Amino acid sequence: MMPAPVLDQRTLALARVAMAVARGDEPAIRDRMRAARGAGAPDVWMDELLLQSLLNVGYPLTLVAFAVWRGIAPRATEGESLLHGDHGAWARRGEELCGKVYGRTYHKLLLNLRELHPALEALVVVDAYGKMLARPGLDEARRELCTLATITQLQAPRQLHAHLRGALNVGWKPEDVDALLVLAEQDLAPERALKVWEVWADVRGRRL
């Protein structure tokens, strides 16, 4: 069993970048990237955060954030090639990571994806989780926390519910999620922040 992750200042700073990326707020992205670097977050964490942002906010906002980041860190860090085409390895590690994040609802997720469209299961498990989220360079706990940070800024209540559970499933403590949501609240309108806290109360009530 992996040790419980630690919610240090580097991790919180990285999560704040994820929130700004989700809003496309270039001044905030720049300021928060510099703050994350100042807090000691490795450049590879930022590169990996931005790559995984493709999954949650799409190419337009991700490319905006990468342009800001390259003004701060001109050279990309070395990382795993996405061109090696090892579909089997991506599928295996995607199944493992997706199963860990979704826990007991994993098989329900697969059924729901198949019902929405037959291609979605492979896109989520193989491409999203296997090819992207299971990459080295940023550990699974920080990846999931940054995914949650991003989704707090989006109108996606089902995904918010799933990734609040996911954060707990990969080892974050409820008080860690509390701390993240306090930060997210600063970027949200009051009514939106209230809805986020309501979803979290539901997750905590079911789990604890």
Give the per-residue SS3 of 55-116.
HHHHHHHHHHHHHHHHHHCCCCCCCCCCCCCCHHHHHHHHHHHHHHHHHHHHHHHHHHHHHH
| Residue 108 falls inside a structural domain | yes
Q: 82 pLDDT band (50/70/90 cuts)?
A: confident
* DSSP sequence for 17-49: HHHHHHHT-HHHHHHHHHHHHHTT--HHHHHHH
Which of 56-60, 105-109, 203-207 is predicted least confidently?
203-207
Domain assignment of residue 29, yes or no? no
Within-domain flag for 152: no
Predicted local confidence at residue 122, as pLDDT: 94
What is the predicted pLDDT for the residue at 87?
Answer: 80
Q: Cα–chain-centroid distance for residue 97?
A: 13
- What is the pLDDT confidence band of residue 150, given thresholds at 50, 70 and 90? very high
pLDDT at 86 over 80: no
DSSP character for 153?
T
d(CA 49, CA 20): 12
Q: Is residue 125 part of a domain?
A: yes
- Collapsing DSSP to helix, strand or coil, 154 comes out as coil
Count up the domains in the chain and report the number.
Answer: 1
Does residue 160 belong to any structural domain of this protein? no
Full-model pTM: 0.95
Q: Which pLDDT band, with edges at 50, 70 and 90, does 41 fall under?
A: very high
Percent of the chain with pLDDT over 90: 90
Over 80: is that where the pLDDT of 176 sits? yes
Is the CB of residue 176 less than 8 Å from the CB of residue 200?
no
Is the pLDDT at 77 greater than 80? The verdict is: yes
Mean pLDDT of all residues in the chain?
Answer: 95
The tokens 């920080």 sit on which residue? 142
How many Cβ atoms sit within 10 Å of the Cβ of residue 142? 21
HSE value, Cβ hemisphere, 13 Å, CA-based, for 116: 12
Is 109 a domain residue? yes
Examine the pLDDT at 171 and tell me if it is beyond 80. yes
Q: Which residue has the higher pLDDT, 168 or 3?
A: 168
Residue whose token pair is 């809003």:
23
For the chain, give the percent of residues with pLDDT over 70: 97
Distance CA 146, CA 135 (A): 15
Q: Crossing angle, helix 174-185 and helix 157-169, to 10 degrees?
A: 140
Q: What average pLDDT score do residues 110-116 get?
A: 96
Q: What average pLDDT does the segment 50-61 reach?
A: 97
Q: Which residues span the domain enclosing 101?
A: 85-135
Angle at 19 between CA 205 and CA 62, to 5 degrees: 130
Mention every residue, 6+ apart, whose C-beta is less than 8 A from residue 123.
none
In-domain check, residue 119: yes
Q: What confidence score (pLDDT) does residue 1 get?
A: 63
CB 203 within 8 A of CB 161: yes
> Is 186 within a domain?
no
- The mean pLDDT value for 155-180 works out to 97
